[in-house]
Amino acid sequence: MFKKVLIANRGEIAVRIAQTLQEMSIAVVAVFSDVDRDSPHVSRADEAYHLDGIAPSETYLDAHKIVEAAKHHKVDAIHPGYGFLSENAAFAHLCADEGITFIGPSPKVISAMGDKIVAKQTLETAGVPLVPGWSSDDANLSDIRKAADRIGYPVLLKAAAGGGGKGMRIVEAASDIEGALGAAQREANSAFGDARVFVEKYIARPRHIEFQIFGDHHGNVVHLFERECSIQRRYQKIIEETPAPNFPDSLRQKMGESAVAAAKAINYTGAGTVEFLVDEHGHFYFLEVNTRLQVEHPITEAVVDQDLVRTQVLVAAGEPLPFTQDQLRQTGHALEARIYAEDPARGFLPSTGLIDRYHQPHGRWIRVDSGVRSGSLVTVHYDPMLAKLITWGDSRDESICRMQWALQRYVVLGVTTNIEFLARVIDHPNFANGDLHTHFLDDNDLSASKSGNVPDEAFIIAALTMKRRAASRSRTSGDDESRPVYSDTPWQSSGRWRNT
C-alpha cells in the first residue's frame, strides 16, 4: 500500500480525500497557492508544498510544478480530486513517466472519454443508447445543417472537448443554425482550444441520471447505482440525490447494465461516472463518461455505505474491488446541496471576501464536506463552491426534512451565499413530489426571496423592540438581562437564520 500521497487539489475535496488517506495510515502532502497558505486543506495535511503564484494556470493546473512537488516529497501516488488536472491525460502520462501512480483511469481512457465524439463512437459499438445525433471531425455548415434537418429541430450544438456546459447552443429553427454554429465554435475554441462541434437532438425536459461505476485491474466492473442530478442552473448541478425519485426498478436495472457495458467496453479502471439523459417516455440516452471522482460522490457513499476514495486507492494500488455487484445495495435516501459563495438575487454573481463567521450544522445523519472555516478568504481565482451539505434518511421525505433543518442552521457571514436559495428549492412542492427535470429552475424562478425586504425590516424593528422591553423589564424586576425572552416573537415565527 502507498505510504505517502499528494493531493493535487484544494478546497473541500482536498480535505475530504485527506480524511480517507489518513484513516488508511497514508501520509498526505498538500499543495497550496499564495492565497491558500492558511486553508483547511493545508493545515489538515502532514506535509505541504507551496506552488508559487495564484492563478490556476501557475498553481493547481501546472502539471510540472505538481510533479516537482511529488518528487520533492517522495510520494508514491497523486490523487487529482475533480476539476484541475483530474481529466488531463497528459498529466496522467507525466505521472507514469516519473514512476508516480496517478489515482484514476489510464491516460488512454481519459483522452478517449474527454473527446465526446470519440466517446459516442466507442460506446455505440458497445450497444449503449445514444442521443440521436451526428458528428464528424471536420464538419462544415452544410453537413451540420443537413444533419439537423434529418434529426429535427430543436437541436443542440455541443463542443467535442466540452465540459461545464461551455460551447453548447440550442437551435430552434434552421434559420438560426449558421449564427449558432459560429458562436459555439468560437466559444469551444477559446475555452478548450478545440473548435470541433457536433449536433444532437435536443431532448425536451429530460432528467439527468448518472451511474457511478468502478473497475479494477483484475477485470471486475460494477455500478453503484444512480444519482439524480436534474436540479441544474446553466447545465451545472446544484442539488443531487439518490435513489432517483419516481424511478422504476426496471429502468434502474437496464441503465445499470448499460453503464457496466460502457465501462467494460473501454476497460475502465478506478472510479467513473456514466451520465445519461432520460426523456419523458422513460427512454435513456448516453451523454458522457466522467473519468474521475464526482463532486456528488458522497450521496452514493451514504446510500451504499462505501468509501469511494478508499476504493480508488485500493484499485490504484492493484487490489481487487472490495465488493461484488451482488453485495451492493441502496439503503435509505441521500441528498446533497452545494453551498456557493454567490448572490442568487443578483444573477448568481460570485461573492468574494472574508468569511467572518462560519458555522456548519451537525447531526448523526448530516455530513458537511467543507473547504472553509471562520477567517477563510474567498477569492475570484477559484471555484466559488465552499462546501457540500449531505443528509441521509430512511426515506426521501426524511432526508428532505433533515436537509431543511440543516440549511436553516448553516451560517456563513461575510460573503453572500446561496443557502436561502437552496432552502427555497428544497421547500418547493414540485421538489417534494419528485417532479424533476433539467428545466426545474427555469420553470420555477426561486432566485429572489418572495417576501422581499419588508419582513427583514420588520424583523429588525421587532428585534429592537424586544431588546428594549427586555431591558426595561430587567430594570424593574431585577431579572438577569441575559435571560432569553420567549414571547410571540419574530425569532420564533421566522424559523430560519438569516445572513445579515
Cell 451545472 belongs to residue: 236
From the candidates 292, 367, 396, 424, which is the catalytic residue?
292
Region from 8-16, 155-163, 293-301, 357-365 binding ligand ADP, contact rule CB under 6 A = 155-163
Q: Quick one: cell of 475? A: 430594570
Q: What are phi and psi of 380, to 5 degrees?
A: -80, -10
* Contact set for ligand ADP, span 107-136 (CB under 6 A): 131
Residue 62 contacts ligand ADP per CB under 6 A: no
The least CB distance from residue 167 to ligand ADP, in Å, is 7
Burial class (CB within 10 angstroms; exposed 0-12, middle 13-18, buried 19+) of 302:
buried
Length of the chain: 500
CA distance 349 to 378: 13
The least CB distance from residue 440 to ligand ADP, in Å, is 10
Residue 405 contacts ligand ADP per CB under 6 A: no
Instruction: Identify the residue among 164, 182, 282, 363 touching ligand ADP (CB under 6 A).
Output: 164
Q: To which H or E segment does residue 493 belong?
A: helix 490-494
Phi-psi region of 205 (alpha: psi -120 to 50; beta: other; left: phi over 0): left
The least CB distance from residue 197 to ligand ADP, in Å, is 12
* Contact set for ligand ADP, span 196-215 (CB under 6 A): 200-203, 206, 208
The least CB distance from residue 63 to ligand ADP, in Å, is 21
Cell 473541500 belongs to residue: 12
Residue 78 contacts ligand ADP per CB under 6 A: no
The least CB distance from residue 260 to ligand ADP, in Å, is 20
CA 310 from chain center: how many Å?
Answer: 19
Region from 143-151, 162-170, 301-309, 486-494 binding ligand ADP, contact rule CB under 6 A = 162-170
Query: Residue 98 or 442: which CB sits closer to ligand ADP?
Result: 442
Query: Residue 117 or 419: which CB sits closer to ligand ADP?
Result: 117
Residue 88 contacts ligand ADP per CB under 6 A: no
Select from 399, 446, 452 the least CA-distant residue to 418: 446
CA distance 456 to 415: 18
Q: Is 292 part of the annotated catalytic residue set?
A: yes
Q: How many residues at the interface with ligand ADP, by CB under 6 A?
A: 19
Residue 442 contacts ligand ADP per CB under 6 A: no
CA distance 210 to 229: 8
Our CA angle for 22, 51, 25, nearest 5°, is: 10
Task: Print the binding letters for residues 226-245 with ligand ADP: x by CB under 6 A, - otherwise.
Answer: ------x--x----------
Query: Residue 165 or 282: which CB sits closer to ligand ADP?
Result: 165
Cβ 328 vs Cβ 222: under 8 Å: yes
Residue 148 contacts ligand ADP per CB under 6 A: no
SS3 439: coil
Amino acid code (one letter) for 21? L
- Distant-in-sequence, close-in-space partners of 467: CB < 8 Å, separation ≥ 6: none
Residue 165 contacts ligand ADP per CB under 6 A: yes
What positions carry a catalytic annotation?
Answer: 292
Q: Report the interface residues with ligand ADP, using CB under 6 A.
A: 131, 156, 162-165, 200-203, 206, 208, 232, 235, 275, 277, 287-288, 438
